[in-house]
Amino acid sequence: MAKQALEFVTYQLNINISQPVTIVIGKLGTYHFPAGNFVYTGSAKRNIDARIARHLRAEKTLRWHIDYLLAAPGVSITGVERFVEPECEVNQLAAGVVPVKGLGASDCVRGCGSHFKFTAY
């Protein structure tokens, strides 16, 4: 019997904000983010690599909450990790504090409150 390959369904973007920034995040409103490091947890039911590549592109339609932040000056993705575990499980294990309630969690099934966390200055 052949071994089945692990299928990555969840990813985390390690994000650095080089200087404090205030932005409007879609319908969530206007928020101030301090300089520092953050982690965003997302998922893709299929083609996770295409989703990650989309986040890494500079030019894109602002569709998801995280797109608004990633489009701001001084904001960059410093690393990407992939997981086989469900999005909420990975998010709940990530250290950090929630700076914006609801960011990235519109489809959350476990009451995470946010899938975006501030991790360090």
Any idea where the domains of the chain sit in the sequence? 10-120
Q: 99-118 pLDDT, tens per residue?
A: 999 898 887 878 898 999 99
The reported pTM is 0.91
Per residue in 2-37, pLDDT tens? 555 668 899 999 999 999 999 999 888 999 999 999
- Rounded CA separation 40/104 (Å): 8
Considering only CA atoms, which of 76, 59, 92, 72 is closest in space to residue 13?
A: 76
